[in-house]
Amino acid sequence: MAKIAVIFGSTTGNTRAAAERIAEALGGVDLIPADRKGLSLLSGYDVLLLGSSTWGFGELQDDWEVLAGELGALDLRGKRVSFFGTGDQEGYGDTYADALGILYDALADTGAEFIGSWPTEGYTFTESRAVRGGSFIGLALDEDNQADLTADRIDRWVSLIRESTG
Ligand SMILES: Cc1cc2nc3c(=O)[nH]c(=O)nc-3n(C[C@H](O)[C@H](O)[C@H](O)COP(=O)(O)O)c2cc1C
């Protein structure tokens, strides 16, 4: 069975709660805070699910911001990687969940195989760096405006991740 890590950065707890729910739904995965120690552990996993909220105007959450310069140097060959995170599509409709896209771009040359893309239907925003080829590159959540949809979105995304990881 694939060894899965859920690694997250969260300022007010929303992405942390999502990470916990994802870990619970997957079962048997490790939940790791986004810090330097967490980064050093990633080589021991087959699947990495990276979670960040978006702050400022389209910036990484602070814990990830500290690590941003180191992400491109990771060797993720043979690993499957996806992203999740919370944002506010009404308050920040031009930068909704941008952090997912920033992480994706940072890992572009690491050899990772990206999985877990997610449809944009049901969201209302103008622009997002997390959208590539018409889909989110991972699971976008919105605790500010669509908290009632979070549990179902997580369950469906976790099923997709399971299908992609065996
Ligand atoms: C000052 C501030 C800036 C924010 N900027 C963005 C943004 O650019 N894009 C976005 O999607 N959400 C933005 N948000 C919304 C947060 O990402 C959202 O509330 C999120 O759920 C926080 O998650 P966390 O508790 O895991 O950090 C912002 C919120 C605040 C208070």
pLDDT (tens digit, 9 = 90+) per residue, 47-58? 999 999 999 999
pTM: 0.98
Query: What pLDDT is stored for residue 1 in this prediction?
Result: 80
Decide: 15 in ligand 1 pocket, CB within 6 A: yes
The three state secondary structure string of 126-142 is: CCCCCEECCEECCEEEC
Ligand 1 centre from 156 Cα, in Å?
A: 23
DSSP-assigned beta bridge partners for residue 81: 48, 114
Say how many Å lie between the CA of residue 70 and the centre of ligand 1.
Answer: 23
Eight-class DSSP state of 44: G
- CATH for 118: 3.40.50.360
pLDDT at residue 166, rounded to an integer: 74
Q: Of 62, 53, 45, 47, which Cα lies nearest the Cα of 19?
A: 53
- The answer to whether the beta carbons of residues 42 and 10 sit under 8 Å apart is no
Q: Is the CB of 54 under 6 A from ligand 1?
A: yes
How many domains does the structure of the chain reveal? 1
Pocket flag, ligand 1, residue 85 (CB < 6 Å): no
Query: 95, 142 in Cβ contact below 8 A?
Result: no
* Domain containing residue 80: 4-165
The residue type at 86: T
Q: pLDDT tens digits for the chain (166 residues)? A: 899 999 999 999 999 999 999 999 999 999 999 999 999 999 999 999 999 999 999 999 999 999 999 999 999 999 999 999 999 999 999 999 999 999 999 999 999 999 999 999 999 999 999 999 999 999 999 999 999 999 999 999 999 999 999 7
Closest CA to 89 of 121, 65, 117, 134: 121
Q: How far is the CA of 2 from the centre of ligand 1 (A)?
A: 32
Query: What is the token pair recorded at 37?
Result: 């120690």
List 4's β-bridge partners, or say none: 47
Q: Give the pLDDT confidence score for residue 5 in this predicted structure.
A: 98
**For residue 145, how far is its CA from the centre of ligand 1 (angstroms)?**
12
Cβ of 128 closer than 6 Å to ligand 1, yes or no, is no
